[in-house]
A and B are shown apart, each in its own frame.
Chain A
Amino acid sequence: MSYIPIKRPKFSLLDRIYVVELVKGLGITMRHLILSLLGKSRSKKDFNGAGIGACMPFPEQRWDAHLPSYYRGAPTLVRGEDGRERCVSCQLCEFICPARAIRVVPGTVDPNSPTPKQEKAPAEFEIDMLRCIYCGMCQEVCPEQAIFLSKEYLITLTDRNQALRHKEQLYQLGGTRKGLINKWNPYK
């Protein structure tokens, strides 16, 4: 047999009259209404709610402290603990980006710098926040762990040009990260 007959529940006469079940349903919604008016809604604490219902009144109260560790916000570039630009401008993030939000112009590293073995660093690195879809593929693909998604979620623009984030800005937002990548150490 190519199909499996589903066993439907058999309704009693009381169920089919419908009125009793209707009253039960009305009771459930009324309980929710009263609880939210009293400010005692379920899981209000988890949502950082205040006042009526379980909702968080947004601009007055923020979600920031409750963000999970895996939250994907705006992508940023990071430096190592030695202040080295981690990005080696391999352009993998540029190629993988499904929204084509990233543009990298490769440049060379000064041979007198502490990490001359790195050879390349981005001359320009731009992320268009109007195109970015916060998918996190750039972070996954990066072999140097140079690009990370931050927890910044509130990006309000008054101008299209503000959406274009340049290299300096991205480094400033990203800050520094410790460890992980040590292969460009000149003494190694």
Chain B
Amino acid sequence: MECFWTWCCDVLRNPTWFYLLTTVAKLVLVFAVILAFVVLSVWIERRVAGWIQDRPGPNRAGLPLFLLKPFGSKKAQPLSGLLHFFGCPPDGCIARLCRWLRLDREIPTFGLMQPCLDGGKLFLKQEITPSYVRKFYFILAPMLVLGPPLVAAAVVPFASEVSTPFGNISMCVANLNIGLLWVFAVSGLSVYGLTLAGWSSNSKYPFLGGLRATAQLISYEVAMGLSVIPLLMVFGTLNLQDIVHTQATDGWTLLPFWGQGLTLQRWVLWIPMALSFLMFATCIFAEANRTPFDMAECETDLVGGYHTEYSSMKFASFFMGEYAAMVIGSAMVVTLFLGGWSIGFGADEALAAWNEWVAVLCQFVMFLLKLLAFIFFFVWVRWTLPRFRWDQVMKLCWLVFVELAVFNIILTAAILYFVK
């Protein structure tokens, strides 16, 4: 044991191995969190859609213990018997958790199993590749949709740093100095997936969907890039970890209530920041292909849009790609405007001074909570707004957002120069 421990320390003391191991650990964590959030956001989407429309939403899928009845369980609700079988006390921690998850009821677990069962259903469905498609691109397209959001997640910081005896760990898979550009560059790649899907399907509605997706994503990329420039002028860096650090000490971009945020300049700067937030959030909606901008899969005029010809797991990867883009979009908004992982009001520094690991854990939880809140906002907007018309989408981008963004840049520059 002692021998193993010293061997571990030796390995970790080597900077290359230390970097490799911590990066792999962070990679696995980020990947797991994103996939879990993709699943969770599907559940949130369906439940919130239900509540907004005065329905319960999918609340049935779970672990219905009453199904044990045919297998010899005497009682209608065999939870207590099951607990007894595994040797758990009837009023212990596990029993209370089971009761909180409603395993003793007819309708268990709030339908949390629904996305898993949806996945299983899609996996078991018949896989149809129509004979008239371009096979190579047809198979490549779903990968190109699902891949970029997962790659873009590499630069999103999910907590601050910790210092260990072997070196510092920055809680961000790749702490790049061009973090924001990386996100824009990689998420811009997903347009290829949609375009190829539309084109390779060799059928008119997917083709129109692909065309719309191409035009829309490329247009909104311009507006999105321009809308964050004021932010970069204020922060003076593209490194997302540094941006969040600045926000943690000097106040979030949208809530400058502490540190440097209490100066007059920051209060005046709030106006261009709010404008920037509005534009960036809208562009994120458009980039993630969400309502009111889901022109590419507008079922009223395009059947299913670019994924009309897809079925089974290929369709599921489009579906997951869309939700992954939504998660990454929310993560970007949270990182740039809502303080990323920072808890706020100077709590980060106090916690870090007490115990760095606890601070990192709290910040991680805070980040996830913010992410959840913004995903809820995504869903909320989806079930509130109807779809725009195609010409309205294009007008909004080229005639409103681009001009407004340029004006916003000039305004920010003026404020930074004149207001001290």
- A residues within 8 Å of B by Cβ? 19, 22, 25-26, 28-30, 32-33, 35-37, 41-42, 51-55, 57, 60
Chain A residues closer than 8 Å to B48, beta-carbon distance: 33
Chain B residues closer than 8 Å to A37, beta-carbon distance: 51
Kindly report which residue of chain B lies nearest to residue A21, judged by CB atoms.
Answer: B385
Can you list 10 A-B pairs, Cβ within 8 angstroms, ordered by A? A22-B385, A29-B380, A29-B383, A32-B54, A36-B52, A36-B54, A37-B51, A51-B56, A55-B54, A60-B106
Q: How far is the CB of A174 from chain B (nearest CB, A)?
A: 34
Q: How far is the CB of B76 from chain A (nearest CB, A)?
A: 13
Complex Cα–Cα for A19 and B274 (A) = 12
**Choice from A22, A26, A53 contacting B54 with Cβ under 8 Å:** A53
Known: A33-B51, A37-B51. A26 touches B56 (CB 8 A): no
Kindly report which residue of chain B lies nearest to residue A30, judged by CB atoms.
Answer: B380
- Is B50 interfacial (CB 8 A cutoff)? yes
Chain A residues closer than 8 Å to B53, beta-carbon distance: 32, 53
Tell me the number of A-to-B contacts counted with CB atoms below 8 Å.
Answer: 53
Q: How far is the CB of A2 from chain B (nearest CB, A)?
A: 26
Complex Cα–Cα for A42 and B54 (A) = 8
Kindly report which residue of chain A lies nearest to residue B48, judged by CB atoms.
Answer: A33
A-facing mask of B51-90, CB < 8 A → 1, else 0? 1111111010000000000000000000000000000000
- Is B278 interfacial (CB 8 A cutoff)? yes
- B residues within 8 Å of A by Cβ? 48, 50-57, 59, 106-107, 278, 380-381, 383-385
Kindly report which residue of chain B lies nearest to residue A50, judged by CB atoms.
Answer: B56
Complex Cα–Cα for A60 and B59 (A) = 14
- Are B50 and A53 in touch, CB under 8 angstroms? yes
- Are A54 and B54 in touch, CB under 8 angstroms? yes
Chain A residues closer than 8 Å to B54, beta-carbon distance: 32, 35-36, 41-42, 53-55
Known: A19-B278, A60-B106. A26 touches B55 (CB 8 A): no
- Are A52 and B385 in touch, CB under 8 angstroms? no
Chain B residues closer than 8 Å to A60, beta-carbon distance: 106
Chain A residues closer than 8 Å to B383, beta-carbon distance: 29
**Choice from B51, B106, B278, B381 contacting A52 with Cβ under 8 Å:** B51
Q: How far is the CB of B276 from chain A (nearest CB, A)?
A: 14
Q: How far is the CB of A13 from chain B (nearest CB, A)?
A: 13
Complex Cα–Cα for A85 and B381 (A) = 61
Question: 11 extra interchain contacts, Cβ-Cβ under 8 A, other than A37-B51, A54-B55?
Answer: A29-B380, A32-B54, A33-B52, A36-B50, A36-B51, A36-B55, A42-B54, A53-B53, A53-B55, A57-B56, A60-B106
Q: How far is the CB of B241 from chain A (nearest CB, A)?
A: 32
Chain B residues closer than 8 Å to A54, beta-carbon distance: 54-55
Chain A residues closer than 8 Å to B381, beta-carbon distance: 26
Kindly report which residue of chain B lies nearest to residue A26, judged by CB atoms.
Answer: B384
Kindly report which residue of chain A lies nearest to residue B106, judged by CB atoms.
Answer: A60
Kindly report which residue of chain A lies nearest to residue B50, judged by CB atoms.
Answer: A53
Chain A residues closer than 8 Å to B106, beta-carbon distance: 60
Kindly report which residue of chain B lies nearest to residue A60, judged by CB atoms.
Answer: B106
- Are A29 and B56 in touch, CB under 8 angstroms? no
The 7 closest A-B pairs by CB, nearest first: A52-B56, A54-B54, A53-B54, A41-B54, A33-B51, A53-B55, A29-B384
**Choice from B52, B56, B278, B385 contacting A55 with Cβ under 8 Å:** B56
Complex Cα–Cα for A37 and B51 (A) = 7
Q: How far is the CB of B279 from chain A (nearest CB, A)?
A: 11
Chain B residues closer than 8 Å to A25, beta-carbon distance: 384-385
Q: How far is the CB of A187 from chain B (nearest CB, A)?
A: 58
Q: How far is the CB of A10 from chain B (nearest CB, A)?
A: 18
Chain A residues closer than 8 Å to B107, beta-carbon distance: 57
Complex Cα–Cα for A54 and B52 (A) = 11
Complex Cα–Cα for A25 and B59 (A) = 26
